[in-house]
Amino acid sequence: MLLLAASARAAAPIEQDPRFIAVAQRFQTSLGISVQPAPVGDAVVARIYNVTPLQAEHLDNVVQILTWVEYELKRYPAGFLQKHGPKHLMLANAFHSKTAKGAAVLYSPTFIADKNSGSILVTVPAAMTPTIEALGRGQLHYTLFSLLLPDLKSTDSPLSMERWKTLLSDDATGKTESAKRLIKAGNTREGLYKMMWESFELAELTTLAKTDARLQQRMELVQSFMHSLDPQFDASFWAALAVIPEHQRTVCLNNLTDIHSTDQIKIDAEIQSDIRALEKQWGFKVLWEPGSAAPPMPAKVRLEYSYFTDKKLSEFKIYIRMLRENLALYPMQITQRLNVQHLYLLDTFTFRGAGVAGQGMNWLPRPSFAYGMRTLDPAKIASLDFFRRTIHHEVLHLIDKAFSKEGGPIYGTRWDSLNQAGFHYKIGSPGGAASPSQLRFYKDNAKWQGFAEPYGMNIATDDRATLYARLMTAHVADEGRGDQPFLARLKTDTILKAKADRLIEFLQMLKTDLSIPSDNPFYSRLQDSLH
């Protein structure tokens, strides 16, 4: 009887479900926006799109997406959306453009401004993934701004396309991959507006604008335009956008009332000796105890973390020893220049909905490391090898940021040019952003040579870090038998070998510039990987 009742509820149309009705009523009451599934055969929408309607099993996804859409829209000044915003949100599983050529791959959620009906068309995927919310929040603001732009009839308007084109910045002037991405995206009116609603990106844009007069002008034009629509978009409003919103809060998963949760770790002589050795060599503070500060992540969504307790004493002991043995390889001439502030040793480390094994926080005034070891399985060789590589992967990110300069052997196009003609990184190169999803991007690029791991196809910095991590662990992997598949590829993949040589060249330059002795164990480990 209960199963039959549940089945009957699932079969009911989404718009009749109490949860959907409650959300829709809130949108209508507080925002003046009606929310409804896109009616099949709607005359206005059907002229442009073939609609794949929502199914009853999509209800949870509908509610989830509308919850954070509501949050984003409530960030606008009171009354603004009632006057200038969309009249409707129309939901479907997909909107297929009738004018698109070929079988274009769709991604979700997509927000589409339908100017004829004054609506925003919202795709609701049949399956949710961790990146949907992170991508969708920004895309919502992008689409909303595109609804406002049609009011700019005059070519004399500062936000007209003709005038806007005279104020574009050269994205090649960006000194980092992140800066290049922001400048390029900020050359579009909607893209700039979208980034101004994301606290971390707004802060970086503001910094870039101090040395980029055109970017500064474009930001002022967007802000002035919004102020002309509603005076509540004043200086204090934009300043408030720089405050991290509640949805980006950090959540500690430890039970902080358990005052005895780390007693065994505190009295373990070997663990404490390894911690002291790390702190002495690197000059950072190791944070490992529940109640310690959260890692300062620039996460676009919820950050969840936990520190270790006595329940994982053996795993903690193995990992701290692995850290000490691998980080001890680095010469003080490098560690002192990196000036790392903290090493966060975490159990759970989840942001953007995905578990993270390591993060090199090179955007901070003083960089830090964070490592998450929830999935470490000391009984599995592959697990130990993975976490060993992760240690060096994050170190390379810091070294890359600190020492790689324009004109250097691994900087910009000098590295990118090593790839086969036609290859594009997903981030930071023309053509890469067109890929609909990370997994598909890897699959579509399986033919390319020159990558230690598929993850390196994402962005040039990860290309270098994955290769470097393999080089640093090649001969100690598999319990000393060596990472034979990787070592074999170094002999047959000429592009991979060229990249390895370029990394070695870069690190050899550091040895000369920093006066590091030739017999340093760090360089011995590197050279071993090529023989």
Of 220, 248, 276, the residue at which a domain comes to its end is 248
Dump pLDDT digits (tens) for 133-156: 767 888 999 999 999 886 666 667
Give bridge partners of residue 121 from the DSSP assignment: 90, 112
Strands (E), 296-362: 303-307, 342-351, 354-355, 358-361
Residue in the block written with tokens 């090898």: 385
Q: Confirm whether 78 is domain-assigned.
A: yes
The torsion of the CA quartet 247, 253, 259, 263, rounded to 10 degrees, works out to -140
Q: Confirm whether 150 is domain-assigned.
A: no
Give the pLDDT confidence score for residue 122 in this predicted structure: 92
Cα gap 187→259, rounded to integer Å: 53
pLDDT band at 389 (very low <50, low <70, confident <90, very high): very high
Q: Confirm whether 137 is domain-assigned.
A: no
Domain range spanning residue 9?
Answer: 2-128
Cα gap 346→120, rounded to integer Å: 41
- Looking at the structure, do residues 123 and 42 belong to the same domain, yes or no? yes
pTM above 0.95, yes or no: no
Domain count, the chain: 4
pLDDT of 447 > 60? The answer is: yes
* Distance (Å) of CA 522 to CA 101, 330, 507, 519: 54, 6, 10, 8
User: What φ, ψ does residue 94 adopt, rounded to 5°?
Assistant: -165, 150
- Looking at the structure, do residues 102 and 189 belong to the same domain, yes or no? no
- Looking at the structure, do residues 244 and 274 belong to the same domain, yes or no? no
- Looking at the structure, do residues 364 and 409 belong to the same domain, yes or no? no
Cα gap 466→524, rounded to integer Å: 19
Of 205, 221, 248, the residue at which a domain comes to its end is 248
Give the pLDDT confidence score for residue 40 in this predicted structure: 67
Q: Confirm whether 96 is domain-assigned.
A: yes
Residue 116 or 78, more confident: 78
| 35 neighbors 69 (Cβ within 8 angstroms) | no
- Looking at the structure, do residues 351 and 254 belong to the same domain, yes or no? yes
Question: How much of the chain exceeds pLDDT 70, in percent?
Answer: 86
What is the gyration radius of the CA atoms in the chain, in angstroms?
A: 26
Dump pLDDT digits (tens) for 394-404: 999 999 999 99
Of 341, 363, 379, the residue at which a domain comes to its end is 379
Q: Confirm whether 384 is domain-assigned.
A: no
In this structure, of 14-28, 133-147, 324-338, 508-522, the range with the lowest mean pLDDT score is 133-147
Cα gap 467→497, rounded to integer Å: 10
- Looking at the structure, do residues 6 and 16 belong to the same domain, yes or no? yes
pLDDT of 41 > 70? The answer is: no
Instruction: Extract the tokens encoding 512.
Output: 């000369």
DSSP 77: P
Q: Confirm whether 61 is domain-assigned.
A: yes
- Looking at the structure, do residues 285 and 237 belong to the same domain, yes or no? no
- Looking at the structure, do residues 265 and 363 belong to the same domain, yes or no? yes
Q: Confirm whether 438 is domain-assigned.
A: yes
Residue 84's identity, in one-letter code, is H
pLDDT band at 49 (very low <50, low <70, confident <90, very high): confident
Give the pLDDT confidence score for residue 11 in this predicted structure: 43
- Looking at the structure, do residues 309 and 326 belong to the same domain, yes or no? yes
* Distance (Å) of CA 236 to CA 118, 121, 239, 325, 382: 29, 31, 5, 51, 52
Find the largest Cα–Cα distance for the chain: 78
> Would residue 63 be called left, alpha or beta, if left means φ above 0 and alpha means ψ between -120 and 50 degrees?
alpha
Give the pLDDT confidence score for residue 5 in this predicted structure: 31
Q: Confirm whether 499 is domain-assigned.
A: yes
- Looking at the structure, do residues 295 and 319 belong to the same domain, yes or no? yes
Give the pLDDT confidence score for residue 137 in this predicted structure: 85
Cα gap 525→207, rounded to integer Å: 39
Dump pLDDT digits (tens) for 62-98: 998 999 899 999 999 999 999 999 999 999 988 877 7
Instruction: Extract the tokens encoding 152.
Output: 């700019």
- Looking at the structure, do residues 516 and 530 belong to the same domain, yes or no? yes
pLDDT band at 10 (very low <50, low <70, confident <90, very high): very low
- Looking at the structure, do residues 282 and 235 belong to the same domain, yes or no? no
Instruction: Extract the tokens encoding 284.
Output: 């950072």
DSSP 167: G
